[in-house]
Copies of this chain bind each other. A is one copy, B any other.
Amino acid sequence: MKRLLVDMDDVLADATGQFLNFYEKEFGVRISREALNHKDELEGFPDNHEALRSFVFRKDFFRTMAVNENSQEVMRRLNERYEVFIVSSAMEFPNSLSEKFEWLNEHFPFLHWKQFVFCGHKSVVHGDFMIDDLPHNLEAFKGEKLLFSAPHNLQFNHFKRVNDWKEVERMFLG
Contacts and interface: CB of A to CB of B under 8 A. Distances in A.
Interface of A: 3, 5, 85, 87, 90-92, 94-95, 97-98, 101-102, 112-121, 124-127
Nearest to A120: B114
Residue picked from A3, A87, A90, A117, most chain B C-beta under 10 Å: A117
Q: How many copies does the complex hold?
A: 2
A102 B92 CA distance: 13
Contacts of A92: 113
Contacts of A126: 124-126
A94 B104 CA distance: 12
A118 B126 CA distance: 15
Given A91-B113, A97-B97, A117-B120, 14 more contacts: A3-B124, A85-B124, A87-B124, A91-B101, A94-B101, A97-B98, A97-B101, A116-B119, A117-B118, A117-B124, A118-B119, A124-B126, A124-B127, A125-B125
